[in-house]
Amino acid sequence: AIGVEALFLCGLNIIQENVKILASVPATAQTNDQGNVSNIIACPFPMIPLNLKEGLSQDNTSLCQNGCCLACPIVNNFYKTGQIDLIYRTLGFIRLISFICILILVASYIVLPNKRENPALIVLCFNLSLLIFLGVSFFYFGDFKRIQCVNSITQSTMQNNTLCGVQAQAIILLISTVFAILPVVLKKIEFEFGAVCLVSSESSNLLFWYPLAVFVIPGFMIHVWTFVFIGKSQCMFNSGFEDSTLVEESSETKGKSITEITGSEIVRAVKVQWRALMLALIFLITYMIYWSYFIFEINKKLYPGTFLEPWFSTWLKCIIENGTKSKNAQNICSVYSINYVPNVAYLATAESLTALLGVSIFIVFGTSVGLWSEWKLFLMNKFGASETLSNNRSWVQLTSKQRAQVIILFKNSFASIKIAIKIGCTSHTTISKLKKKYEETGKVENKSGSGRSRKLNKQDEWSLIRHLMTKECTTVI
């Protein structure tokens, strides 16, 4: 029979109750291992015999009792079989898609002329950081245990797994060099949960979350204030167009007018600022949910005193009773442990948000018509794909910045680019001059006689654009 002495994590004393449970497990037959005949202790599934392989030994990241150890990652043993692995395999593919999406955006913001100046440079810096963050997935893509574990029973730390240390350092470097060096010096990098190694939970607030909060929360507040400021400025600007000679309106009509102006200008402010606001909002939501998961769920992690907990004794007894009969013991016994380990739905939500960052940012910035219009124009100019463009010397004479300004001026649409190509602006006609005339002519008097200015409808707007370009530019086709 199995001996009655139990060895606990980090030198804990013998726990009599659990020893009695393990003592009830019968010894088993001998088996051949790598050509050598050795006695293998019978351990209920999913526990692993400590002497299963040569070189397999218990250390301070293993959880063993009486020669039987929980498989690494230890926390996975308390969920249904394969449940956590399935989540991380799925998220691994999502991270790969996110990486490709961000790679497209980074290439766009580096190559396209209009994206290499403020405020686009801010988005480029953020996307470069996110690209590195998602690129960390390649450390463990297809095999999570390369990062999580040293062997079948030992979890990773930076001391026993070089890949774990390098991968964690790649993430931490995104915050700052100072806070990247501190966890290394203090030796506070290890695997605890999730799919990656990170700063250990007892030091994470000081070394990771608080520094990150310094950037995330003020950044979001600045974006909100910018949004409010733009809306307020737009309202004040447009109210200046009211003719001072008009007869004073009734208070009811005036109130209605102000409401209409405010509503329209809020919509305009949203159109101007919504991408930057969404960027900050996505980052804030991801940060807050992941941090809350870290605070409220990771405190359920296993520790040396876990053997003393009543739920663990109940779970272990269930494993022994069912593990010797079938390999379904983990699924059967998970009901006793599920409330004492991190919530699987919370885990999946937090990890999914980080995995979807690339896709989310691509939806915000990569779906812009202007981005793909600029790519089309860039490729046409680069490779001479359009005979019209190659014959249009006046358009070719424009600088990259002037071409970008033409795109911005004419609403970033494919139709406007075709107009700009067909009607070549000569070098002496600057884009700023054309824009000024467009703005001056853009207000026409209402024929109803009210004397108020009104905005052009879409059809009139395009007619005016064509008229101005024909007048101010030389037609070469």
26 and 107 share one domain: no
The answer to whether residue 333 is domain-embedded is no
Cβ partners under 8 Å of residue 457, min gap 6: none
The answer to whether residue 410 is domain-embedded is yes
62 and 177 share one domain: no
Of the CA atoms within 13 Å of residue 372, those in its CB half-sphere come to 8
183 and 154 share one domain: yes
388 and 463 share one domain: yes
298 and 430 share one domain: no
For residues 261 and 254, give the distance between their C-alpha atoms in angstroms, rounded to a whole number.
11
Tokens matching residue 427: 């070098």
Domain coverage including residue 383: 368-475
349 and 372 share one domain: no
The answer to whether residue 316 is domain-embedded is no
197 and 100 share one domain: yes
Question: Is-contact 438 431, C-beta < 8 A?
Answer: no
What is the enclosing helix (H) or strand (E) of 162?
helix 162-172
pLDDT number for residue 173? 62
Q: How many domains does the chain have?
A: 3
pLDDT number for residue 186? 65
Phi (first) and psi of residue 334, to 5 degrees? -65, -20
Cβ partners under 8 Å of residue 473, min gap 6: 394, 423, 424, 425, 426, 429, 434
The answer to whether residue 319 is domain-embedded is no
The domain boundary residue, chosen from 50, 78, 106: 78
Neighbours of 450 (CB within 10 A): 11
Per-residue confidence in pLDDT tens, the chain, 477 aa: 233 223 233 333 333 344 344 444 433 333 333 333 344 457 777 888 877 666 677 777 777 877 788 888 888 888 888 888 888 888 888 988 999 999 998 888 888 877 766 667 777 877 887 887 788 777 767 777 777 888 888 888 888 888 888 777 666 665 455 556 666 666 777 766 666 677 776 667 766 677 677 777 777 777 777 767 766 665 665 555 444 434 444 444 444 444 444 566 666 666 667 787 788 888 888 888 988 888 888 767 666 566 677 888 888 888 888 877 777 888 888 888 888 888 888 888 988 898 898 899 899 888 877 788 778 877 777 765 444 444 443 444 455 555 555 555 554 444 444 444 444 443 334 445 555 555 555 444 333 444 444 454 555 555 555 555 544 443 332
416 and 280 share one domain: no
Is 306 buried (19+), middle (13-18) or exposed (0-12) by CB count in 10 A?
middle
Order of all β-strands in the sheet with 48-49:
48-49, 68-69, 64-65
The domain boundary residue, chosen from 78, 93, 123: 78
The answer to whether residue 322 is domain-embedded is no
Q: Which has the closest alpha carbon to 94: 359, 315, 289?
A: 359
For residues 468 and 463, give the distance between their C-alpha atoms in angstroms, rounded to a whole number.
9
Q: What is the DSSP letter of 27?
A: P
The answer, as to whether pTM is greater than 0.85, is: no
The answer to whether residue 4 is domain-embedded is no
The answer to whether residue 248 is domain-embedded is yes
Q: Which has the closest alpha carbon to 407: 384, 387, 377?
A: 377
pLDDT number for residue 100? 92
252 and 107 share one domain: yes
For residues 284 and 307, give the distance between their C-alpha atoms in angstroms, rounded to a whole number.
38
Long-range CB pairs of 48-55, under 8 A, 24+ apart, other chains included: 48/152, 48/153, 50/153, 52/152, 53/152, 55/151
For residues 111 and 375, give the distance between their C-alpha atoms in angstroms, rounded to a whole number.
9
153 and 58 share one domain: no
115 and 248 share one domain: yes
Single-letter amino acid code for the residue at 390: S
279 and 407 share one domain: no
**Helix, coil or strand: residue 72:** coil
The answer to whether residue 324 is domain-embedded is no
Q: Which CATH number covers residue 121?
A: 1.20.1070.10
Question: Is-contact 318 326, C-beta < 8 A?
Answer: no
Tokens matching residue 280: 């900050």
The domain boundary residue, chosen from 52, 78, 104: 78
- The separation between CA 137 and the C-alpha centre of its own chain, rounded to angstroms, equals 12
Phi (first) and psi of residue 37, to 5 degrees? -90, 120
